[in-house]
Amino acid sequence: MSERLQPGDTAPAFTLPNADGKPVSLADYAGRKVIVYFYPAALTPGCTKQACDFTDNLDLLAQHGYDVIGISPDKPEKLAKFRDKEHLKVTLLGDPEKEVLQAYGAFGEKKMYGKTVTGVIRSTVIVDEQGKVERALYNVRATGHVAKIIKDLGL
């Protein structure tokens, strides 16, 4: 079971391939606020809803200085298919080794349909300009989550 991050923690550094196979690092966003969200699988209904919600609100978030990165255990080829099929504008990164998912506390035991399973815990970590965790939200719902973040951040 991975440790959950707390506000004030330093966000774990990472470099992962994007949908085009190009490396993207958290360090690339130094001086910017970043919403890093973790989702179980591209091209599934809940994850599609969440990614579309982030895409639909990307301009609003960007106006307030937030970039958005979605991370799943998918390979870049699947992420590219997901991005193109759904016209997504958020940066999608693949973590097939699940190292970043674990570092952020977004992989471990969870309840699914009443059973305990090991997998991706739908989570969102908001990182400030200094690379510190501003908020860490775990076991979030796919639907309505983006609206809640916008409300909680007062945007």
Which residue is catalytic, options 19, 26, 35, 47? 47
Instruction: Check residue 46 and give its pLDDT.
Output: 85
For 12-58, the pLDDT digits (tens) are 999 999 999 999 999 999 999 999 999 999 998 888 899 999 999 99
SS3 content of the chain, % helix, strand, coil (to 5): 30, 30, 40
Handedness of CA 87, 80, 146, 39 (dihedral sign): positive
For 61-92, the pLDDT digits (tens) are 999 999 999 999 999 999 999 999 999 999 99
Residue 131 has pLDDT above 70, yes or no: yes
Q: What is the mean pLDDT of the chain?
A: 94
Instruction: Check residue 120 and give its pLDDT.
Output: 93
Cα separation of 21 and 35, whole Å?
21
pTM of the model: 0.94
Both tokens of residue 97?
Answer: 């080794």
Residue 2: pLDDT band (50, 70, 90) is low
Catalytic site includes residue 47? yes
